[in-house]
Structure 1
Amino acid sequence: MKRTISVEVGKGSVNHNSRKFKAENVDGARSHLNIDYCNERIQDVYQMLFGAAQERFNARQKRVDRRIPNYYEKICTGHQEKPFHEIIIQIGNKDDMSALGENAELAKTVLNEYYQGFQARNPNLYVFSAHLHMDEATPHLHIDFVPFITGSKRGLDTRVSLKQALAAQGFKGGTRSDTEWNQWVRSEKADLAAKMERHGIEWEQKGTHDKHLSVLDYKKQERSCEVQQLGEEIDERRCEVHNLQQQAEKYKQALEDCKLTEDMLETAPEYQLPELPALMSAKTYKTRFVDALVERLKKLAKTLLARYFEVLNDYFRVNANNGKLYHENKNLRADNAWLSQKNDRLKIENRNYSLLRKRLGKQQLDALVEQAKAAKHTTRSKNETRER
C-alpha cells in the first residue's frame, strides 16, 4: 500500500479544531471519533512560557514606555512574529484514505502514533492545541504550537521566534528553497513515513512538494513562507536597531555625567581647597589638603578615562554595525517587496486557475495541462536535436 503525506500550514482556527463551532464539511455524527489531545488557553500559555522573562525585561528598563505590559498582545499587534503556528498532517487523500473507508482506523492509528512523539521531537515548539479529526472527508491532524527560544540576548531572554526555535533544533536554512521551515517539514514527513512503514504503508513521494496542493497553491505557500522568513529577519534587524538606540541613550547619559562632573569640580566641597589657616605652615597645608585633593582628582581622572575609552569603543562598534544594518535592511525590504508582488500575482493566477477548473472541469483541464507539457517537451527535444 502506497500513500502520500501532506503537511500544510493551517489557518489556526482553534475554535473550529476543537469543534466549538462546526463548518459545513463536518459530519457531527462522527465527531465523537475525534481525539482531543490538548486545548490550552493561549494567554495562559504565554504567561507560563514568557511571564518570568517579561518581568526580568521590565525590571531592566529605566524608562516606563519601554516596558512590556502584555507580551501576548505585543506579539498579536506586531508584524514580526505570529502568536502561534499550525500544521495539518494527512496521509493519502479522500479517494484512497477516506474517513468512511476501510483504511480510516489505520490512518487514525498512524497519526496518533506520530503525534505522541511530536513534543519530544520539538522541544522548542510548545503544543497547546492538538486534535485528530475523523469527522471530515479524510482523517487528519491539527497541531497548534508556540515557537520559543531561551537565552536570547535581545529583548526578552525567552521570546517567540519560529526561525530561531527551529535553528535551536538543528534546522538552519541556507537558501530560500532550503529554509529552516522546509528542512523541518521534511524531517517531520520522514518521521511519519517511518511510522507508516511499520503499519505496511509505503510513502509515495510525488516530486519535491505536496501534490495535494495545485502548483499555484504550492508556489503561493512557498512565497508566504519566504515572506514570513524575511519578516523574521527584519525583526532581528529591528532588535539590533533597538540596541543601537539603547547605546545612544548611554552616550546621552555619558554627556550628562560629564556635565555633572564639571559642576562637581567647580562647586563640591571635597574638590575645593580651603583658605590657608593662620599659623599653618605650607608643608602642613600641602600634606593635609593639597595631597588629599590630588589623590581624589587622580581617582576621578582614572574613572573618567575608563568611561571615555568604553564609550569610544562602543561608538566605533555601533557605527560599524549601523552601516551594516542599513544595507541589510535595505536589501531585505527590496526582497520583501518583490516577494509580496509575486505572491499577489500568484493569487490572481490561482483565482483564474480555479475559475477555469470550475468552467472546464477537472478532467478536461488536467488533459489540457498534460497536452501543454507534452508540447513543451517535444519542442525542447527538437531544440536539443538541432543543437547537436
Structure 2
Amino acid sequence: MTGKGSVNHNSRKFHAKNIDSERSYLNVEYCNEDVKDVYHELFDEALVRYNEKQTRSDRKIDDYYDKICFGKQEKPFHEIILQIGDKDNMGATTENGQLAAKVLDEYMRDFQRRNPTLRVFSAYLHMDEATPHLHIDFVPYTTGSKRGLDTRVSLKQALSALGFKGGTRSETELNQWVQHEKKQLAEIMLERGIEWEQKGTHEKHLSVLDFKKKERAKEVAELEAKKESLEEHNAAILETSEKWLGELENLEQEIHSAQEIREEADKKAEVAKKEAARYEKKLAEIAPMVKDMERFAVKYSYDPEEVLPEAGTLESGKSYREKKAKPLIEKIITVLRSVYRAYLDISRNYNDLQRSCERAWNKVNALSQYVEKLRDENIEMKEKLKDVQYLYRVMGKEKVNKIIQQGKEAETIEKMKRQAQRRTQWER
C-alpha cells in the first residue's frame, strides 16, 4: 500500500498504542536521513541554475523544499508499506513471521538499485507490531526537465524514467510500478516457499458488477457471523467492564484520600512555617543583645577576687568589696548566663522547627508527585478499558484471551533465550 508517511512514527520517536515497545529492539533501520538534506543534495545545483535565468525576483525560489510542501502539484516525499500475510498466518512472534522478515529484508536490499530515480531517505522493518512490515520513504525526481528546475520532484516522470508509461485510468504509472514491485516481492517469497495468493483475481470471466455483488454478499455474511459472535460475548464484556470500572472507582477513591492527606500536610507545613518565622523574628531582635551578654559573661566568668582588686589599706574598702561589690558581680554573672542559656534554647528550638518545616514540605512534594502518578494511572486505565472493550466487541473474548496467552508465551520464550545467551557469554 502507499501511505502519507510519518518518519517520526517509523523511527519510533513516538509510540502508537499498537506497538509492543519491548520488541522494538528487533526493528531494522536501513537509513534515516533528514529529507531537507536530501533535497539539498538533489536540487541545490538545479535551483541555482534556475534562479540565474530569472529576470524577476518574485519568480526566484528561496527554498525548493518549502515550495513543494506548500504547493499542490507534488508531495515532498512518498511512502510505500509492504507486508506479507497477516497476524493470523505471519505473526511477528512466530516462525512464519521471522520468515516474512527475511523476505522483506532481501527485498529492501535491492530496492534502491532497482529504482534509481526514487531517492530513499528513510526505511524501517518493524517487528514490534502484530505482523512484520516494511516502510520505505523516498523522493521521486526527474532530470533534464524543460520546465521549472531541470532536476525537480515528479513521481510521474520518475516512474516514466523507470519504463512505466501511463495508459488508462487504472493503468497509471504508479499502478504499473506497484504491480511490478509486488511481483519482485513475490519472486523472493517463492524462493522461500511462500506462494502469492492473489485474492479476488481468479474469476476472470465475472463482470465487474457481478464480482462486486458477490464480494458484498461475502461481506454481509461475515458481518452476520460477527454480529452473532458479539451477541454471545456481550455478557462477558459487561462483566469485564464492571471489573475495570470497579478498579477505577477504587483508584479514584485512593486519589481523593491522597488529596485530603496532602491538604492536611499543607496546613501543618503552613503552621510550621509561621511558627518558624516568629522564632526567627524573636532571634533577630535579641541577637545583638546576646552578643554583648556573651562577651560580658566571658569577661566576668572569672573568680570575683581576680576581677576586683584588693581595697588598699583602708578597712572600709575591704568591707565594701566583700559585702557589696562581690555579691553584685556574682548576681550579674548568674543573670547573664541564664539569658545566654535561654538564647541557646531558643536557637535550638528554631533549628528543630526549621527541620520539621523542611520535612513537612518534603512530604507535601512527595504527596503531590503521588497524586499526579495516580491521575496518570487513572487516565491510562481508562484508555486500557476502552481498548479491551473494543477488542472484545470486534474479535470476541475467546480470541482476545488466546492472543494474549500466545503473546505471554512468546515473551517468556524470548526472555529464556536472552537469559541463555547471557549465561553462555558469562561462561565464555
TM-score normalised by L of structure 1: 0.53
Task: Please tell me the residue identity of whatever aligns with 1:171.
Answer: F
Question: Could you report, residue by residue, the CA deviation over 1:59-85 in whole angstroms, capped at 9, with x for unpaired residues?
Answer: 000111100000000000000000000
- 1:154 corresponds in structure 2 to 147
Shift of 1:359: 8.5
Question: Could you report, residue by residue, the CA deviation over 1:212-264 in whole angstroms, capped at 9, with x for unpaired residues?
Answer: xxx9xxx9xxxxxxxxxxxxxxxxxxxxxxxxxxxxxxxxxxxxxxxxxxxxx
* 4+ long deviations beyond 3 Å: 356-365
- 2:50 corresponds in structure 1 to 57
- 2:162 corresponds in structure 1 to 169
Please point out which of 92, 99, 110 is paired with 2:92.
99
Query: Against the structure 1 CA distance between its residues 195 and 363, is the aligned structure 2 distance closer, same or farther, given a 3 Å change threshold?
Result: farther
Shift of 1:362: 4.0
* 1:231-270 alignment, distance < 5 Å: none
C-alpha RMSD over aligned residues:
2.5
Structure with the bigger percentage of helix: 2
CA distance in 1, matches of 2:33, 2:221: 40
Q: Which has the higher contact order (CA 8 A, sep 6+)?
A: 1
Structure 1, unpaired ranges of 5+: 1-7, 210-214, 220-353, 366-388
Shift of 1:104: 1.5
Question: What secondary structure is seen at the aligned counterpart in 1 of 2:95?
Answer: coil
Q: Is it true that 1:9 corresponds to 2:2 in the alignment?
A: yes
- 1:204 corresponds in structure 2 to 197
TM-score normalised by L of structure 2: 0.48
Task: Please tell me the residue identity of whatever aligns with 2:185.
Answer: L
Task: Please tell me the residue identity of whatever aligns with 1:63.
Answer: R
Shift of 1:203: 1.0
- 1:129 corresponds in structure 2 to 122
| Structure number, greater radius of gyration | 2
Question: What secondary structure is seen at the aligned counterpart in 2 of 1:203?
Answer: coil
Please point out which of 132, 135, 138 is paired with 1:139.
132
CA distance in 2, matches of 1:63, 1:24: 51
Shift of 1:208: 4.8
- 1:238 corresponds in structure 2 to none
Task: Please tell me the residue identity of whatever aligns with 2:85.
Answer: G
* 1:354-369 alignment, distance < 5 Å: 362=226
Query: Against the structure 1 CA distance between its residues 14 and 362, is the aligned structure 2 distance closer, same or farther, given a 3 Å change threshold?
Result: farther
CA distance in 1, matches of 2:79, 2:222: 29
CA distance in 2, matches of 1:118, 1:29: 29
Query: Against the structure 1 CA distance between its residues 359 and 90, is the aligned structure 2 distance closer, same or farther, given a 3 Å change threshold?
Result: closer
- 1:48 corresponds in structure 2 to 41
Identity %: 66
Shift of 1:358: 12
CA distance in 2, matches of 1:184, 1:25: 30
Shift of 1:33: 0.4
Q: Is it true that 1:179 corresponds to 2:138 in the alignment?
A: no
Q: Which moved more, 1:65-74 or 1:102-111?
A: 102-111
CA distance in 2, matches of 1:35, 1:70: 32
Task: Please tell me the residue identity of whatever aligns with 2:44.
Answer: G
Number of positions where the alignment pairs a residue of Structure 1 with one of Structure 2: 216
Question: Could you report, residue by residue, the CA deviation over 1:141-175 in whole angstroms, capped at 9, with x for unpaired residues?
Answer: 00000000000000000000001110110001100
- 1:76 corresponds in structure 2 to 69
CA distance in 2, matches of 1:68, 1:208: 48
Structure 2, unpaired ranges of 5+: 203-207, 213-218, 230-428
